[in-house]
């Protein structure tokens, strides 16, 4: 293992995507890390999200803060089952099902539940399996552990992954000179919690379990919008609101790499979705349960062709956003707006602590902010670093 890759793992900059390895193990913090690599180190460093990240749509940037946007909609699945099961209106699930049924792709690559709170990337060829695996996964989820299946696939895939994973798989295919005709879908991501968040939450709800292996099934969201956290064990079922589960538990276990992320908004994808939050007077999202709504952003011409066909097929309902897109997006995604404006100052704090942040290519710094916001981001990160890099 190179010194750079060692530092990625030891400094909590590994996202646990699985792209570099054949095996991941859980560390004491409750996150997945590689034990060995499946290809040469120099090649890995070209696509590891902890070493470098590339905005593959950088030449199409139409907004400073939210990247390339050809079209943007408020959207939802027209299928009631999918809309109910999805985290925020079921738009991604509806698009994937539509792509398969219209033969616009040959398969779908995305996360599948293997057992309990364990997930792994798999090629999916049935609409039923896509729907069965719908919903948010707020725990370690190595989407790219089977990336060789993408490399070797003869046909066109719709690939669903976190923003950093989309950047990484596109960089890997480019690095290896592979022809890339796949369709990429991502979502707005606020970070990937460790298993410890789920474990602590279930135990505080009365679960009394020793590890997440004792969880038989979990829904982090769904069954409404934003929906409830529901975990089942041998001893019972434990529930919490989204506001409680994410805000008080899961969000507290994010790795350091997520705190300095330049791209929680899927800049390299063809299409990206998010919650279409309604906010109160202070700009904070309102979590009253209601029928789900997605924010749907079309980033590329390829994405536009697909979105148009899915809309024409009446698989999703849409309402176009207004002319002032950046202002509209700031209102429905205030957290991501702030993250895009402040990640620069978190990176500076990390570097001053002697830790190299990932090299970036094609990312803007997301607009101007006041001195108070800059200092809050910088100081918060500077004080937080030691907690993350302790063994």
| Across 352-378, average pLDDT | 91
DSSP H helical ranges for 176-279: 195-204, 242-244, 256-259
Residues paired with 225 in a beta bridge: 290
Helix (H) or strand (E) holding 186: strand 183-187
Which of 10, 15, 110, 12 has its CA nearest to residue 53?
A: 15
Q: Which range has highest mean pLDDT (63-72, 163-172, 321-330)? A: 163-172
| pLDDT given for residue 283 in this prediction | 65
- Rounded to the nearest 10 degrees, the angle between the axes of helix 325-332 and helix 334-352 is 80
Give 59's pLDDT tier (boundaries 50, 70, 90): confident
Q: Is the pLDDT of residue 48 over 60?
A: yes
With tokens 């001195």, the residue in question is 371
Instruction: State how far the Cα of 323 lies from the Cα of 161, in Å rounded to an integer.
Output: 29
Q: Which range has highest mean pLDDT (58-62, 124-128, 224-228)? A: 124-128
The neighbour count for residue 186, using CB atoms within 10 Å, is: 29
Q: Is the pLDDT of residue 367 over 80?
A: no
Mean pLDDT of the chain: 92
Q: Is the pLDDT of residue 324 over 80?
A: no
| pLDDT given for residue 362 in this prediction | 92
| pLDDT given for residue 387 in this prediction | 83
Give 140's pLDDT tier (boundaries 50, 70, 90): very high
| pLDDT given for residue 282 in this prediction | 67
Instruction: State how far the Cα of 314 lies from the Cα of 298, in Å rounded to an integer.
Output: 17
Structure-block tokens of residue 280: 């109160």
* pTM tops 0.75, yes or no: yes
Q: Is the pLDDT of residue 320 over 50?
A: yes
Give 390's pLDDT tier (boundaries 50, 70, 90): low
| Across 120-137, average pLDDT | 95
Instruction: State how far the Cα of 334 lies from the Cα of 245, in Å rounded to an integer.
Output: 19
| pLDDT given for residue 369 in this prediction | 87
Stretch among 158-167, 271-280, 338-347 having the lowest mean pLDDT: 271-280
Which of 377, 361, 382 has its CA nearest to residue 168?
A: 361
- 59 vs 371: which has the higher pLDDT: 371
The neighbour count for residue 280, using CB atoms within 10 Å, is: 8
User: Three-class SS of residue 371?
Assistant: helix
Give 365's pLDDT tier (boundaries 50, 70, 90): confident
Angstrom CA distances, 332 to 6, 63, 226, stand at 38, 16, 14
What is the DSSP pairing of strand 183-187 with strand 271-275?
parallel
Which of 113, 141, 177 has its CA nearest to residue 19?
A: 141
How many angstroms separate the first and last alpha carbons of the chain?
A: 18
Q: Which percentage of the chain shows pLDDT scores above 70?
A: 98
Give 323's pLDDT tier (boundaries 50, 70, 90): low
Stretch among 52-66, 67-81, 116-130 having the lowest mean pLDDT: 52-66
Under 8 Å between Cβ of 121 and 153: no
| pLDDT given for residue 293 in this prediction | 93
The neighbour count for residue 315, using CB atoms within 10 Å, is: 22
Under 8 Å between Cβ of 218 and 118: no
With tokens 């919690």, the residue in question is 193
Distant-in-sequence, close-in-space partners of 112: CB < 8 Å, separation ≥ 6:
119, 120, 121, 122, 124, 129, 133
| Across 175-203, average pLDDT | 95
Give 13's pLDDT tier (boundaries 50, 70, 90): very high
- 232 vs 367: which has the higher pLDDT: 232
């Amino acid at each position: 293992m190179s010194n750079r890759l060692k530092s990625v793992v030891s400094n909590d900059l590994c996202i646990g995507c699985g792209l570099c390895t054949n095996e991941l193990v859980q560390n004491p913090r409750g996150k997945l890390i590689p034990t060995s690599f499946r290809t040469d180190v120099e090649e890995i460093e070209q696509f590891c999200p902890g070493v470098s990240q590339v905005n593959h749509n950088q030449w199409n940037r139409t907004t400073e803060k939210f990247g390339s946007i050809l079209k943007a909609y408020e959207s939802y699945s027209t299928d009631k089952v999918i809309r109910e099961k999805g985290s925020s209106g079921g738009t991604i699930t509806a698009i994937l099902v539509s792509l398969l049924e219209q033969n616009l792709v040959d398969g779908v690559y995305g996360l599948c539940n293997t057992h309990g709170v364990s997930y792994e990337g798999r090629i999916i060829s049935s609409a039923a399996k896509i729907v069965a695996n719908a919903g948010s996964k707020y725990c370690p989820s190595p989407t790219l552990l089977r990336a060789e299946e993408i490399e070797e696939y003869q046909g066109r895939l719709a690939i669903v992954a976190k923003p950093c994973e989309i950047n990484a798989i596109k960089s890997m295919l480019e690095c290896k000179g592979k022809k890339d005709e796949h369709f990429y879908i991502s979502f707005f991501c606020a970070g990937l919690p460790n298993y410890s968040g789920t474990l602590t939450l279930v135990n505080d709800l009365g679960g009394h379990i020793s590890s997440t292996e004792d969880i038989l099934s979990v829904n982090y969201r769904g069954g409404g919008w934003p929906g409830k956290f529901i975990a089942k064990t041998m001893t019972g079922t434990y529930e919490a609101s989204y506001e409680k589960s994410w805000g008080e538990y899961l969000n507290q276990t994010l790795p350091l790499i997520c705190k300095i992320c330049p791209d929680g908004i899927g800049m390299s994808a063809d299409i990206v979705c998010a919650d279409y939050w309604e906010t109160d007077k202070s700009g904070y999202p309102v979590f009253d349960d209601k029928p789900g709504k997605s924010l749907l952003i079309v980033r590329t011409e390829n994405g536009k062709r697909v979105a148009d066909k899915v809309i024409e097929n009446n698989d999703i309902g849409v309402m176009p956003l207004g002319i002032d897109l950046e202002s509209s997006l700031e209102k429905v995604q205030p957290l991501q707006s702030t993250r895009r404006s402040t990640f620069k100052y978190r990176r500076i704090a990390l570097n001053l602590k002697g830790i190299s942040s990932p090299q970036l290519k094609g990312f803007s710094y997301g607009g101007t902010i006041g001195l108070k916001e800059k200092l809050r981001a910088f100081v918060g990160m500077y004080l937080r670093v030691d907690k993350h890099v302790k063994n």
